[in-house]
Amino acid sequence: MKEIVIISGKGGTGKTSITASLAKVAHEEVVAADCDVDAADMHLLLQPDFANSEDFYSGVIAQINQAKCIKCGKCKDVCRFDAISIVDKQYVVSQLDCEGCGYCAQICPRDAITTPQQNVGNFYISSTRLNMPLVHARLGIGAENSGKLVAKVKNEAKALAEKRKIPYLLVDGPPGIGCPVISSLSGADFVVFVTEPTISGLHDLERVYELTAQFKLLAGCIINKADLNKEKTAQIKKFIRKHNIYELDQINYDEKFSEAVTNGYTAAEINKEYERNFKHLWEKIKEIVLEDK
């Protein structure tokens, strides 16, 4: 099984639309995974049935048992996150500020502090209208996106692909370069950057490329809205060639793209031409992934 991860650095470049379009043309060959658990959108295009749902627990938060507390204040003293304060003469933990390090519970002389596991969200294994399974998740509001839920989504998707003997895993990654992105890259066989010819698009592509280069990952690039700024598109191409990134495709600015999303279908379903182009792109990606040893 080969794993293809689609990321962009910058948000809103068209990652999800393009991933869903690739999933549409690849259908029986892929398990799709939405690893942008912070703002997951792929389900809006693939319409999963949410058939299997499970709670996901990760990390802890401190809780003070007021009956046992002797108000010595040691917990507040050691907390580096200012998560413990005195309210109405009682020591209380701010859920949003607590990092879950458990230091307070360690030093409490009366064992008045417990650290229960936190339910940080749900993950789902679904069937979709396009005949491929989708593994996706929803992070709880304000929960920590430590990358653990991302890892869970990927592991479940991998297990599913192996069980059903599906050859490819297609991952819609999160924006940025931090923990969730690093988590979505672990184990990738091929990374696809979706960028746009804007000053920010290029800047963010450079940063995210530097990250994937640290992991020595094979990479390709799709330039979305390529005709918006020909000068920037040329600069991006220059950057791609310099770093031996595969030039996969360029897609022109087209309001049909957002119309498709508005009506709940993928760009590959706009017309025959788009379908043909995405099929061609998918074949190209497979060729690169299979050639790589």
Choose between 59 and 187: whose C-beta lies nearer to another protein. Answer: 59
- In angstroms, how far is CA 106 from the centroid of its own chain? 34
Choose between 209 and 246: whose C-beta lies nearer to another protein. Answer: 209
Min dist. Cβ of residue 161 to another protein (A)? 26
Helices (DSSP H) in the chain: which residue ranges? 15-26, 42-46, 74-78, 103-107, 148-164, 179-185, 199-214, 230-242, 255-262, 272-291
Min dist. Cβ of residue 264 to another protein (A)? 7
The residues binding another protein (CB under 8 A) are 9-13, 16, 38-39, 41, 44, 59-60, 78, 80-81, 96, 99-103, 106-107, 115, 139, 141-145, 147, 174-179, 181-182, 196-201, 203-204, 207-208, 210-211, 214, 225, 228-229, 232, 253, 255, 258, 261-262, 264
Taking alpha carbons only, the member of 190, 175, 172, 191 closest to residue 31 is 172
Region of 190 please: left (phi>0), alpha (psi -120 to 50) or beta.
beta
Choose between 156 and 196: whose C-beta lies nearer to another protein. Answer: 196
Min dist. Cβ of residue 164 to another protein (A)? 29
Min dist. Cβ of residue 175 to another protein (A)? 4
* Token pair of 14 as six digits: 């068209």
Choose between 41 and 189: whose C-beta lies nearer to another protein. Answer: 41
Choose between 73 and 178: whose C-beta lies nearer to another protein. Answer: 178
Min dist. Cβ of residue 39 to another protein (A)? 5
Choose between 168 and 257: whose C-beta lies nearer to another protein. Answer: 257
Within 10 angstroms of residue 239's Cβ, the number of other Cβ atoms is 16
User: What is the enclosing helix (H) or strand (E) of 114?
Assistant: strand 113-114
Min dist. Cβ of residue 81 to another protein (A)? 8
3-class secondary-structure state, position 61:
coil
Pairing of strands 117-126, 52-60: antiparallel
d(CA 121, CA 89): 33
d(CA 180, CA 162): 24
